[in-house]
Structure 1
C-alpha cells in the first residue's frame, strides 16, 4: 500500500484563520490557542506540504504562492468536515445570515437556492443586500456581510470559495432595429458596474457612438426598459425575458468579455447555518447550465 500524507483539519483550520483574520494572534484568539501554538501548527502544516505557506509583508501576513494553492483546498476540506459534523451532531440551523448579491449580475438560480434554503430552515433569517460587487467585497472585509456572490476583478481574491465564468450577451426588445449612424441607446446600472464597463468598452473599441438613456440600480427596472424598446443592455441568458432578443455581431454588437464570478465568505466567522447555506450554494453553482463555466479553485 502506498503511504499517504494526511492534512489534519485542525491545522488547515488554523491556516485559514491566520490568513483570513490577518495574523497569528487574532487566529489564536478565535480558536482558543496561544500565538506560539498557532505558529507551531503552521510550521507542522508547512512540513507536511513541504513548502512555506506564509510570508511577512510589512505588518501584514500574506499567503505565499504555495499558500494560495493550499488555501483553496483547505477551505473546501474544512467546509466539508464542518458540514459532516453538523449533520451528525444535528447542529441547530438558526440565526441571521447576511447575504450580498450584485446588482450587475443575474443570480436567478442562486435566488432559487436561497428560497429553498429558507423553506428547509425556517428558523434562519436571511438579510439580502444588493449592491455593486466592489461594495460587496468591502462589506465582507468589514464583516458587515457573511456570504457574498460578486464579480472578480482578479483571478485570486481573499475569501474565495468557488469561481465560475458567465458570458454576458447584448439584449434588446424583439422589435428593436439598430439605426445606422445613430448612437446606441444604452441602459445600464450605476457607474462601476462590470456590465456597463464591458458595453462601453466594446462599442468604443469599434469606434461606435453610444449614450446612456436609462440608469437603474436594479435588474428588474433594466429588464423593463429593454423590453419596452427604450434601450439595449447586457444581460445573461437566464434574464433574457419574453419579448427580448439577443443582438448579434452582424448587427454591430461585438462579443462582450466574459465575467468571472465568485462565492466568498470568511470561514472562521461562519455559523452552522452559514456553512449549510454555502454548501447549498456550491451545489447550485455546480449544477448550473450552459451559460456558466465553473472554474477550478
Structure 2
C-alpha cells in the first residue's frame, strides 16, 4: 500500500540491542556485526521514523524520548517475529533457561506454565530461582538469569516486556480473634518484600500497633502460618487457601496499595527456547485478568 513505512525487524533488533546492552560495540558483538554496521542500521532506522533515537550522555548511550516510545513497539514486534520463526524452527530449541520468580507474588499460574513448557520441550533444561524481586532484578542485570517475573519499584524499568497489577488482600484464619487493644500479629517474607512493606505502611498510617511473629522466605510456609491462626498476612487471591478469611476496612484493615508486576528479559541474550517461553508466559498472563497489558510507548 502506498505511503506505508515498514520497519525492518533487523533494524529494530539492532536498536534494542544497543539500548539493552549499553552501546554499539556490545550490540555488535551480540549480533555478530561491526560497530560501523550497527551505527549504519541505527541511522537507517532514524531515517524511517524521522526522529533521533539515541543520545550520548557522558559514556552512556541512552534512548531519546522518541527512542523510548519506539522501544516498547520494537520489543513487541521483534518478539512476535521471533515467535513466528521459532514455530518453524522447533528443533533448535535446546539449552538451559534460568528463570527467576519472586517469593512475594502468587506464582501458581506461572508454575503451571513452566510445567507445561517442560513437558513440551524435553530438550530444554529449566532452572527456577526464587528470591525477592530486588534480587531478581540484580541477577538479570548481571546475566545470572535469563527471564524474570518481579515486582516493579518504578513505573518503568529496563528490560520490561509486560506489566500488570496485583491487588494484595489481608487474610487471617477463619477463627482467629484480633482484639483491637492488642498488636496485630503479622506474618511476612523477609525484609525487602514489597508485601511486607505495604502491610507495615498501611497499619502505621492508621496508627495500629503490630509485631512480626512469623517470617518465611516461601509462600507455602506463610500460607500454613495463616491457616493455623499464627498470624495475619497479605497475599493475592490466587494464594488464598480454604480456611482463610479476607479482612477489610470493616475489620480495621485498610486497603493495601496495589503492586506493579513485570515480565523482564534481555532480548539479545535470549535463545529460541527462551523466546518461546516468553510467548507462553505472555499468553498465560493475558488470560488471567484485565490488569495485564503491554508496556506503554
- TM-score tier by shorter-chain length is over 0.9
Aligned to 2:106: 106
Aligned to 2:231: 231
Worse overlay, 93-102 or 45-54: 45-54
Aligned to 1:270: 270
Aligned to 2:89: 89
Change in 2 beyond 3 A, CA 1:191/1:219:
same
Worse overlay, 236-245 or 92-101: 92-101
Q: Describe the SS at the equivalent of 2:264.
A: strand
Aligned to 2:41: 41
Q: Describe the SS at the equivalent of 2:90.
A: coil
Change in 2 beyond 3 A, CA 1:90/1:296:
closer
* Structure 1: gaps of 5 or more residues: none
* Structure 2: gaps of 5 or more residues: none
Q: Describe the SS at the equivalent of 1:153.
A: coil
Aligned to 1:131: 131
Aligned to 2:256: 256
Q: Describe the SS at the equivalent of 1:109.
A: helix
Q: Describe the SS at the equivalent of 1:87.
A: helix
Cα deviations by residue, 1:146-192 (Å, 9 ceiling, x for unpaired): 00000001111111110000100001111123211111100000100
How far is the alpha carbon of 1:90 from its aligned partner?
3.5
Aligned to 1:4: 4
Aligned to 2:216: 216
- With the length of structure 1 as denominator, give the TM-score of the two structures: 0.97
Aligned to 1:13: 13
Matches within 5 A, 1:104-253: 104-253=104-253
Aligned to 1:64: 64
Whether the 8 Å CA contact 1:175–1:229 is kept in 2: the answer is yes
Q: Describe the SS at the equivalent of 2:92.
A: coil
Whether the 8 Å CA contact 1:171–1:246 is kept in 2: the answer is yes
Whether the 8 Å CA contact 2:161–2:294 is kept in 1: the answer is no
Aligned to 2:22: 22
Distance in 1 between the 2:82 and 2:116 partners?
21
- With the length of structure 2 as denominator, give the TM-score of the two structures: 0.97
